[in-house]
A and B are shown apart, each in its own frame.
Chain A
Amino acid sequence: MEFEWTEPDAQFRKDLQDFLGENLPASWEQIAHHGPGADQTADFSRSFCAKLAERGWLTQSWPAEYGGEDASPWRHAIVSEEMWQRGEPRGSQYMNVNWIGPTIMEYGSEEQKRDHLSRISRGDVLWCQGFSEPEAGSDLASLRTRAWREGDDYVVDGTKIWTSYVNGAEYCFLLVRTDPESKGGRGITVLLAPMDAPGIVVREIPAVIGERYFHELFFDRARIPAHCRLGAEGEGWGVVRYALAYERVGAARYARAARTLDSLAAHAREQGLFDDSAVQEKLGAALTLVEAARILTYRVIDLRARGSAPTADTNLARIAGTLCENAVSDLAVELLGTEALAYGHAAEAYFRMAMTAGVAVGTTEMNLDLVAGRQLGLPRS
């Protein structure tokens, strides 16, 4: 065992920090406050990701044949930590790099790889994720959005919901059911759907967590060219599982929790509260959870670095991440009081983002189910 960063990795983190110091303007904090789905954030991500791409850092974990550097998953983890700590200046493009690109590499046609991977790696394209439906949330495999072939197109009919990052998105990674007789995972197909296809209508769903977090996408006999299908018709569930295995370790949410906790400790010091043993105990308790989330995430990265198939460790890491975010945002409110609830305060933005940790990207309960089944071998109810 070895729990140290290699010299080159440590150097890379330093270089990345310097880069962020130079390329995140003073106004970034204010931009980030609008939330990850806001226009300002989407706009910012374009120029920022282009700069990252120039340095070769946007897709360095990708294989060399797709313009990456075959960098280890540990590099990927460093990028994720540094970005999340600063409120994820890549905006929605972290999805492109983390799982949309890799899934296209695995399942895409030569044409799809050519069209999509080069744009993703230049940082000049935005995507959104069309999985959830009004009646298919936790039970994603029950999705019903229909698609059938008519000539060279798929005609898509149905509704997607909770879609984030819709503004500016050119493509939607869309799940549809192509076999109307099928149930569950079978009969699902993935379409890399252009958002300007006729028949797609977008509605924002106003949310307390921030602007433009959620949208509903209505597909009213929308026509998506058949060449946009990713993988074989009816085989989409395998594609989704592949994508989700990448998605779920994607975000180093604990890194933002750690940074928030640092600022809470600094606040406690300034206010003369740090010597209060009860305050120390709370800070220590929250830090323990942050560290547990970090180490469990590293465990997943280690498995990936060895090329192992995904295990329940991924689910453990996600759950630990949610526990740490809940603890840190609770503590922020307890230490700062109503100050932490004033719009514009960094702790307030953190609070709203952390609220969704146990729901977004697969709920805690679904992760617990997988731990119970895969890790503990408990029988299904």
Chain B
Amino acid sequence: MDFELDADQRAIVEAVDALLVRHAGARRAAELAQSGGYDHALDDALEASGFAQVARGEETGLLEAVLITEAIARSAGVVSAGAALIVAPALCAEPLPGPIALAERGDARPLRFAAQARSLLLAEGDEARWIAIEDGSAEPVDNRFALPMGRWRSALPEGQPLGAGSGERMRAHWRLALAAELLGYMEAALDLTVGYLKERHQFGRPIGSFQAVQHRLALCSVLVEGTRWLSYEAAAKGADPQACTTAAAHAADSARQLFRETHQLSGAMGFTREHDLHVWSMRLPLLRVELGGASQHRRSLARERWGGAPKPGGGT
């Protein structure tokens, strides 16, 4: 066991952070949230610098993909990072046209990035499919949750099956991607809130100096760090299904708590568009319900651990 990033991994994280300082960040995310837009320029920059393909690299793999996805989320990038960096490489040898959306067959609810997607990865029972998406296949769904959502206008083409076992592989990687993105959002939301409460004075002292507040922030930190290491472990284990489910269950449940606590402790300021919290916090409810949310992750986890052979499809 070794919990330190090696020199190459550190260099990757530094390099992607440097790129994100130029191409992403809260201000840009806030503008995109207002307009419902997608950050194609950021996708291009990630592609051009090779970060988008790390999971397919010779020297790099899933853990690097998770670290980069987390960094993109921490910088509030409005791109489909988890799907592109973590999920797609597990299913297709060649890069797919992006943006990539992820869905389960039969779920007609609004979907992240549907209106921008050029590829859809669809989990259906034991199999996953790749479907090329035509422009205009989905209509945008107006929302206040800081990422574009859309809804299919009509039935989608059948697409291309990705082979037996691809369904389970897709769900495991999707869960890992969710954990990595939620991790980035939670870290950033917590950091911002801690910083704010160090500065904000009431009753003649920083609000962050009150023990009742400190304990709650400290608990949030336990949740974030738990999500971090479970996600890294799942990645290092090559997206072992049970490890991915654990990470996703922990992330989704922590996201509920982080959403409440960061907003509660930021007071009225946290509800404004002038304070950056919303660009991360508002995504938490959106991601924490994907793929059935904590409730499905937990059920799957119990079955994976004690239920004998996993049911085909991994759903309920």
Interface residues of A (CB under 8 A from B): 132, 135-139, 142, 161-162, 205-209, 213-214, 276, 278, 282, 326, 330, 333-334, 336-339, 341-344, 348, 351-352, 355-356, 358-360, 363-365, 368, 381
Contact = CB atoms under 8 A, between A and B. Distances in A.
A343 B202 CA distance: 35
Most central of B109, B149, B274 by chain A CB within 10 Å: B109
Interface size class of B (residues with CB under 8 A): 35 or more
A206 B144 contact: no
B198 interface: no
B258 to A, nearest CB: 13
A142 B294 CA distance: 43
Interface in B194-238: 201-204, 207, 211-213
Contact of A207 (B107, B211, B273): B273
A136 B268 CA distance: 12
A337 B109 contact: yes
Contacts of B264: 358-359, 363-364
B118 interface: no
A199 B202 CA distance: 28
A167 B151 CA distance: 35
Interface of B: 107, 109-112, 141-145, 149, 201-204, 207, 211-213, 256, 260, 263-264, 267-268, 271-274, 278, 282, 285-286, 288-290, 293-295, 299, 316
B271 A208 contact: yes
B145 A341 contact: yes
A48 B258 CA distance: 39
Given A206-B274, A363-B264, 20 more contacts: A136-B202, A137-B268, A138-B203, A138-B207, A138-B267, A208-B272, A208-B273, A276-B316, A278-B299, A282-B295, A333-B285, A334-B293, A334-B295, A337-B107, A342-B142, A344-B142, A355-B263, A359-B264, A359-B271, A363-B267
- Interface of chain A: mostly helix, strand, loop or mixed: mixed
Contact of A205 (B109, B141, B274): B274
Contacts of A206: 272-274
A338 B283 CA distance: 11
Contacts of A365: 212-213
A135 B264 CA distance: 17
Nearest 8 A/B pairs, CB to CB: A343-B142, A206-B273, A139-B202, A338-B110, A162-B268, A208-B278, A339-B109, A139-B203
Given A339-B109, A365-B212, A381-B211, A330 B272 contact: no
A207 B278 CA distance: 9
A342 B267 contact: no
Contact of B260 (A132, A137, A326, A338): A326
Contacts of A142: 202-204
Nearest to B288: A333
B110 A342 contact: yes
Contacts of A334: 289, 293-295
Contacts of B268: 132, 137, 161-162, 214, 356, 359-360
Contacts of B211: 381
Contacts of A161: 268
A78 B273 CA distance: 36
A137 B267 contact: yes
Contacts of B143: 341-343, 348
